[in-house]
Structures are given as C-alpha cells and as structure tokens.
Amino acid sequence: MLKKAYLKKVEARLEEWGDEISKLGAEAEKAKTEIKGRYQEHLAVLRSKQAAARTRISELRETGADNWGKLKAGVDESIDDLKKAVDNAISKLKKSA
C-alpha cells in the first residue's frame, strides 16, 4: 500500500475511534457519581493511547519513502491497541451502567 493511502486509512480509523472516545466523554458527563470515576479512568487510558497513535502517525508522515515500511508496523500496533482499548472500555462501561 502506498504511504499516502495508508496514512489516509489510519487517520480515518483514528478519527473514528476519537469519535467513540468523545461519545464516552459525553456519557461520563451524564453518568451518576459512582460510575463517573470509572468513565474517567477509561477515558484517561484511551486519550493516552490516542496520543501515542497520533505521535506514531506523525513520525510516519515525516519519514522518507525508504523508511516508512519500518514505522508502519508501529503505527499498526498503536491503532490496533487503541481499537482494543476503545472496544474494551465500551464493553466494561455498558456492563456497569
């Protein structure tokens, strides 16, 4: 896959999960006091993983065509880690709601 197409794909995925994180943030604002803490804990983890993925994508964007394949694995790992964390947070928070 070409670098530009790949970046477009992972940036779209990052945005999609960013929307999910924003939804969880909105739900946290509405949550009862006893559940609000759980939301905040999950949101902190998700935002950290989201920032890590953004950093890796930025690094990939800055690298030359010769080296982008080496960084691609790290981006894939960050994106997959964020997706799993979002899915996990949604699942756990639905159970506690």
Q: Is the pLDDT of residue 14 over 90?
A: yes
Radius of gyration (C-alpha) of the chain in whole angstroms: 15
Per-residue pLDDT reduced to its tens digit, 37-86? 888 999 999 999 999 999 999 998 888 877 777 888 899 999 999 999 99
Residues 6+ apart with CB under 8 A from 89: 24, 42, 43, 45, 46
Average pLDDT value for residue range 10-37: 90
- What is the pTM (predicted TM-score) of this model? 0.84
Q: Is the pLDDT of residue 96 over 80?
A: no
